[in-house]
Amino acid sequence: MISRSCEARELKRYTFVGGLFLLALAVRLWRLTTHSLWFDETMSLFWAGQPVARIWEVGLHLVEDKHPPLYYSLLHGWMGLFGSSDAAVRSLGSLLGALAVLPACGMGYLLGDRRSGALAGLLVALNPFLVWYSQEVRMFMPAATFALFGLYGLLRSLLSPQSSALSPRPAALRLGWWALALLGLVGAVYSYLFSAFLLPVAALWLLVLWLWMMRQGQSLGAWRFFLCGAFVLALAGALIAPLLWAAWRVSGGESLPGRMFGGMAEALARLAAAYTLHRGPWGEGAVHTAQVGAGLLTLLGLLLPLRGRASTGFSHSQMGYLGALGRPLLALYLFLPLFVGGLLQSRDRTIFDEPRYFTFLVPAFCLLWGRALAALWQRVRLLGWVALAAVLAVHLVALSHLWLPQNLREDWRTAAAYVETHAGANDAVLVHVDYVRIPFQRYFGGPQPVFFPFTERLNDPAQVEPPLLGLLPFDSVWLVQSHTQEFDPHHLVERWLAERFPLATEQYPAGITVKRFLTRYRLPELPPDVPRLDAACGPHITLAGCAVDDERTPATDERSHPPSAWVHVRLYWRTEAKPPADYTATVRMVDGLGQVWGERLYREQETLRVWPTSRWEPGEIVRQEVDVNLNPITPPGEYRIVAGLADAAGQPVGSEVICGAVQVVK
Question: Of 102-111, 170-179, 182-191, where does mean pLDDT reach its minimum?
Answer: 170-179
Distance CA 361, CA 347 (A): 21
Say whether both 398 and 429 belong to one domain: no
**Top-confidence residue, 377 or 280:** 377
Same domain, residue pair 120 and 227 = yes
Q: According to the per-residue pLDDT averaged within each range, which of 395-409, 625-639, 647-661 is highest?
A: 625-639
Q: Which of 367, 346, 514, 311 is nearest to 429 (CA)?
A: 514
Residues 27, 399 contacting (CB under 8 angstroms): yes
pLDDT of residue 159: 73
Same domain, 203 and 339: yes
Bin 483: left if φ > 0, else alpha if -120 < ψ < 50, else beta: left
Both 503 and 539 in one domain: the answer is no
Pairing of strands 477-481, 513-517: antiparallel
The residues facing 503 across adjacent strands are 517
- Cα separation, 566 vs 506, in Å, equals 11
Rounded Cα distance, 320 and 256, in Å: 47
Domain span holding position 434:
414-517
d(CA 631, CA 662): 13
Say whether both 71 and 145 belong to one domain.
yes
The band of 313, judged by pLDDT with boundaries at 50, 70 and 90, is very low
Closest of 13, 106, 113, 103 to residue 320, by C-alpha: 113
Closest C-alpha among 100, 91, 146 to residue 120: 100
* Phi and psi angles of residue 548, each rounded to the nearest 5 degrees, phi first: -100, 115
Position 317 pLDDT exceeds 80: no
138 with 94, same domain: the answer is yes
Specify whether 204 is located in the same domain as 320: yes
| Residue pair 371/384 in contact by the 8 Å Cβ criterion | no
pLDDT at residue 163, rounded to an integer: 40
pLDDT at 126 over 70: yes
Share of the chain above pLDDT 90, in %: 80
- First-to-last CA distance in the chain? 65
Q: How confident is the model at residue 162 (pLDDT cuts 50, 70, 90)?
A: very low
Same domain membership, residue 560 and residue 486: no
DSSP bridge pairs for 663: 552, 638
Q: What is the mean pLDDT of residues 43-68?
A: 95
Task: Specify the pLDDT at position 165.
Answer: 44
Residue 308 has pLDDT above 90, yes or no: no
How many angstroms separate the CA atoms of 555 and 663, rounded? 10
For the chain, give percent helix, strand, coil, nearest 5: 55, 15, 30
Q: What average pLDDT score do residues 3-16 get?
A: 74
The radius of gyration computed from the CA coordinates of the chain, to the nearest angstrom, equals 31
Domain boundary among 356, 381, 407: 407
The residues facing 236 across adjacent strands are: none
> Buried b vs exposed e over 257-274: b needs ≥16 C-beta within 10 Å?
ebeeeeeeeebebbbbbb
- Segment 513-563, tens digit of pLDDT: 999 999 999 999 999 999 999 999 988 899 999 999 999 999 999 999 999
Give the Cα separation of 183 and 202 in Å (integer): 13
The values of phi and psi at residue 70, to 5°, are: -65, -50
Residue 151 pLDDT > 50, yes or no? Answer: yes
73 and 171 fall within a common domain: yes
* Domain end call among 475, 491, 517: 517
Amino acid code (one letter) for 24 = A
Max alpha carbon distance in the chain (Å)?
Answer: 107
Q: Are residues 206 and 308 in the same domain?
A: yes
DSSP string, 132-193: HHHSSSSSHHHHHHHHHHHHHHHHHHH--PPP-SS-S-HHHHHHHHHHHHHHHHHHHHTT-G
Q: What is the pLDDT of residues 18-39, one digit of tens each?
A: 999 999 999 999 999 999 999 9
pTM of the prediction?
A: 0.92
Distance between CA atoms of 91 and 97, rounded to whole angstroms? 10
Q: Which residue among 517, 536, 571 closes a domain?
A: 517
Length of the chain: 666
Q: What is the residue type of 378?
A: Q
Exposed e or buried b per residue across 370-402, where buried means at least 16 C-beta atoms within 10 angstroms of its C-beta: bbbbbbbbbeeeeebeebbeebeebbeebbebb
Distance, CA of 128 to CA of 124 (rounded, Å): 9
CA dist., res. 182 & res. 120, Å (int): 23
Q: Is the peptide bond before 447 cis (omega within 30 degrees of 0)?
A: no
Supply φ then ψ for residue 240, to 5 degrees.
-95, -10
Q: What residue spans of 488-558 are helical by DSSP H?
A: 492-498
* Residues 6 or more apart whose Cβ sits within 8 Å of residue 198: 147, 150, 151, 185, 188, 333, 337, 360
Same domain, 168 and 91: yes
Model confidence at 377: pLDDT above 70: yes
Same domain, 81 and 146: yes
- Rounded Cα distance between 449 and 424, Å, is 11
- pLDDT tens-digit readout, 220-265: 888 988 999 999 999 999 999 999 999 988 876 667 888 999 889 9
3-15 as b/e: b if 16+ CB within 10 A: eeebeeebeebee
Task: Band the pLDDT of 316: cuts 50, 70, 90.
Answer: very low
Query: How many domains would you assign to the chain?
Result: 3
Residue 624's CATH number: 2.60.40.2550
For residues 45 and 82, give the distance between their C-alpha atoms in angstroms, rounded to a whole number: 13
pLDDT for residue 75 is more than 60 = yes
Helix (H, G, I), strand (E, B) or coil at 579: coil
Q: Is the pLDDT of residue 276 over 50?
A: yes
pLDDT computed for residue 310 by the predictor: 46
pLDDT digits (tens, 9 = 90+) for 182-198: 999 999 999 999 999 99
How many CB atoms sit inside 10 A of residue 538's CB?
Answer: 23
- pLDDT average, residue stretch 72-101: 98
Closest listed residue to residue 228, CA positions, set 189, 177, 186: 177
CA distance 248 to 255: 10
More confident site: 512 or 171: 512
